Chain A
């Protein structure tokens, strides 16, 4: 049965389906969205949806975010090919020569992501939506934006930026200065655990980077 659905979905183009958001809004989605959202694609393959007019419930996503994701996918429908395949976790060779960049967000994407802010939490909303729908390109844009925001900032600035309350990890932070001092004192790998613990005492964060 499932294969039948897949075939109909593959061959009847342009296909439109309806999805409903958490707050009950109903949207039409077309190929551009289905092809980029792996979650929807899998859902359509697995679910037996004979009737196109029944909206697929997406309980995790707000209407505004769903709308934005659809707009994003419409714009990006043609650059499907340029998106790299699944991250191959074990492919070290490929990784070695392609360090991950975050300064390559296109102008359109930059403008697009500007409507979502940290203050209102919408930036995290859209990332969550992209993560849930498994839209690689959108998730990458969101994550890159956050990475660019925190890069070069110290922990105080980051806490302030995202309104995070401070709870010290306490287990001993392996900050560079900490490990460098232990390196400089000429120790080798054969430290006793006790020595190690005393060396890894958490320094107060204020002292670490000023």
Chain B
């Protein structure tokens, strides 16, 4: 009988446990006896065909020695239960496919907890395939993606990070869960930010096709901002522009004052009847050298440059807002060129934060995901810090979060990191 010595040792062990009063921590003396018995046990294990339950018992003793905080009674019962019923199935006996099934019902935060349970669970829950599936599935639903949480950038640089790491770094749900920690660190910055916000206002430039395509007179983004029913944005005044450029609104958002300067490509009438965004566009103009070619169909970047007046307005800006209409039927590729022309300018400060508001008219409009916006606008290649924020013009959802990103210290801190 190969098994007899082990059983003996186990019984011996249980005996020593039962002599001691329950619910108290192990003394040094106990530890000594435990060590002896466990050594005996381990030596008897060598050379013997080891079954899973025996390993489990040995593991239990090791744990007992390592973590003295575990009371003696607890481990004793652990051993007796495994002894009493050798045929009983333990949860660790379940095959991997069953585990994958179980874990498919859990969210990422729960999965992280499960990965700490034991070695086997760690292996299953950190499986790269599992996380890459999650990443593919969930990243379509994320409502905001920034340059620092862009899952696509990892593919671009062929990062050797695991999919799990990428998921946890990029998922807005996880980030939201951990913001409290950031806030406590940034407390000082927040305070100084608050004081600054009282005296100093930032210029934010808002432009983009979404400003115009979403303009039905009563429901444009700008009118919504002007008369915000939710009172998140307080209008403090209007700013007159120069030569039709640079007019805007002075807005207060959570004690932050900022000037929102809107740049339309054309005036209202022109907007209504034109086929191409680049004909009679006031933001960009054709570069003169190339005018001989004069092919309007080709919107290649080298042919256009930013209008000097627009350049003047942008020079003092502390943030850019690019508004697009992210309704599903629109092709996002069309929005790429205009953004690229502005962002590829030589004078552009590479640390100027860019907010992309992916707007839809109301919640029911089918929309392209934030990830699609990142993909189709080719944002991964952009040097500036950016954030894509899904928002809805009708109920203003998401808009304040986007502007808050531009105004808060966080985007400023990121800029510092970039430099």
Q: Which residues of A contact B (CB under 8 A)?
A: 92, 95-96, 99-102, 118, 120-121, 124-125, 127-128, 131, 139-140, 143-144, 146-148, 150-155, 158-159, 162-169, 171, 173-177, 179-180, 183-184, 186, 189-190, 205, 208-209
Contacts and interface: CB of A to CB of B under 8 A. Distances in A.
Nearest to A205: B116
Nearest to A102: B105
A107 B253 CA distance: 49
A128 B122 contact: no
Contacts of A131: 95, 97-98
B157 A173 contact: no
B140 A146 contact: no
Interface in B124-170: 126, 133, 136-137, 140-141, 148-149, 153-154, 157, 159, 161-162, 164-165, 168-169
Given A164-B117, A177-B181, A180-B175, A124 B91 contact: yes
A104 B185 CA distance: 41
B182 A159 contact: no
Contact of A124 (B89, B107, B154): B89
A189 B154 contact: yes
Contacts of B108: 176
B113 A158 contact: yes
B103 to A, nearest CB: 8
A167 B105 CA distance: 25
A80 to B, nearest CB: 20
B157 A189 contact: yes
B178 A176 contact: yes
Interface in B1-36: none
25 contacts: A102-B105, A118-B91, A121-B89, A124-B89, A124-B91, A124-B94, A128-B94, A131-B98, A139-B101, A150-B114, A151-B107, A155-B117, A159-B118, A163-B90, A167-B63, A168-B119, A169-B115, A169-B118, A169-B123, A171-B122, A174-B115, A174-B126, A174-B168, A175-B112, A183-B149
Nearest to B88: A121
B113 A155 contact: yes
Contacts of B109: 176
B116 A155 contact: yes
B112 A166 contact: no
B117 A146 contact: no
Contact of B98 (A121, A143, A159): A143
Nearest to A124: B89
A144 B105 contact: yes
B181 A189 contact: no
A155 B114 contact: yes
Given A92-B137, A174-B162, A166 B95 contact: no
A2 to B, nearest CB: 27
A165 B63 contact: yes
A180 B114 contact: no
Nearest to A162: B91
Contacts of A139: 98, 101
A102 B101 CA distance: 11
A167 B113 CA distance: 14
B78 interface: yes
A100 B101 CA distance: 10
B316 interface: no
A190 B157 contact: yes
Nearest to B64: A165
Nearest to A154: B113
A100 B110 CA distance: 14
B104 interface: yes
B147 to A, nearest CB: 10
A128 B102 CA distance: 13
B168 to A, nearest CB: 5
B195 to A, nearest CB: 24
Nearest to A203: B116
Contacts of A180: 168-169, 174-175, 178, 181
Contacts of B268: none
Contact of A92 (B59, B78, B89, B136): B136
B110 to A, nearest CB: 6
B320 to A, nearest CB: 22
B296 interface: no
A124 B105 contact: no
Contact of A179 (B114, B118, B168): B168
Contacts of A124: 89-91, 93-94
B191 interface: no
A143 B93 CA distance: 14
